[in-house]
Amino acid sequence: MTAKELREKFIQFFQEKGHAVIKSASLIPENDPTVLFTTAGMHPLVPYLMGEKHPMGTRLTDAQKCLRTGDIDEVGDDAHLTFFEMLGNWSLGDYFKKEAIANSYEFLTSPKWLGLDPDRLAFSVFAGDEHAPRDMESYELWRSMGVPEEKIFFLPRENNWWGPAGITGPCGPDTEMFIDTGKEKCCPECSPACDCGKYLEIWNDVFMEYNKTAEGDYEPLEQKNVDTGMGLERTICILQGKSSVYDTDLFLPLLEKIEALSGKRYGETEEITRAMRIVADHIRSAVFLLGDDRAVTPSNVDQGYVLRRLIRRAIRFGMQLGMAEGFTPEVAEVVVSQYQDAYDELTRHRDFIMDELKKEEGRFQRTLRQGLREFEKVVGRLKDGKEIDGISAFHLYDTFGFPIEMTVELAKEKGLTVDVEGFEEAFKEHQKKSQAGAEQRFKGGLADQTEETARLHTATHLLHAALRHYLGDEVAQKGSNITAERLRFDFSFGRKVTKEELGQVEAWVNEAIAADVPVTMEEMDLEAAKASGAIGLFESKYGEKVKVYTIGGYSKEICGGPHAAHTGELKHFKIKKEESSSAGVRRIKAVLNDG
Q: 416 and 463: one domain? A: no
449 or 338: which leads in pLDDT: 338
pLDDT in tens, 558-585: 875 568 999 999 999 999 999 987 557 7
- pLDDT given at position 183: 87
Assess contact for 236 and 6: CB atoms under 8 A.
Answer: yes
What residue spans of 401-542 are helical by DSSP H?
404-413, 420-434, 451-471, 499-515, 526-531
Out of 211, 243, 275, pick the residue that ends a domain: 243
> Of 218, 243, 268, which residue sits at a domain end?
243
| 559 annotated binding-site participant | yes
**What pLDDT is recorded for position 541?**
31
How many alpha carbons fall within 13 Å on the CB side of residue 191? Answer: 15
Indicate if 146 and 282 belong to the same structural domain.
no
Mean residue pLDDT across the chain: 88
563 assigned binding-site residue? yes
Last residue within a domain, chosen from 243, 278, 301: 243
What are the CB-based long-range contacts (under 8 Å, 24+) for 68-75?
68/37, 68/39, 68/438, 68/439, 69/36, 69/37, 69/306, 69/310, 69/438, 69/439, 70/435, 70/438, 70/439, 72/309, 72/310, 72/313, 72/438, 73/431, 75/277, 75/278, 75/281, 75/282
Which range is least confidently modeled, 84-93, 230-239, 536-545?
A: 536-545
The conformational region for residue 174 under phi > 0 = left, psi -120 to 50 = alpha, else beta, is beta
This prediction's pTM? 0.68
Same domain, 28 and 74: yes
Same domain as 206, residue 107? yes
Binding residue per annotation — 461? yes
Is 187 annotated in a binding site? The answer is no
Domains held by the chain: number? 4
Question: For the CA atoms of 275, 278, 283, 288, what is the dihedral angle to 10 degrees?
Answer: 170
pLDDT band per the 50, 70, 90 thresholds, residue 545: low
Identify the residue with better confidence: 6 or 536. 6
Tell me: do 45 and 105 sit in the same domain: yes
Whether residue 391 sits in one domain with residue 376? no
* Same-domain pairing of 44 and 158: yes
Residue 256, domain extent = 251-381
Q: Under a CB-based contact definition with an 8 Å cutoff, are residues 291 and 336 in contact? A: yes
Q: Looking at the predicted structure, is the pLDDT value of residue 431 above 60? A: yes
341 and 410 within one domain: no
Average of pLDDT values for 406-425?
Answer: 89
In this structure, the number of other CB atoms found within 10 A of the CB of residue 415 comes to 7
pLDDT in tens, 498-536: 999 999 999 999 999 999 999 998 878 777 888 888 886
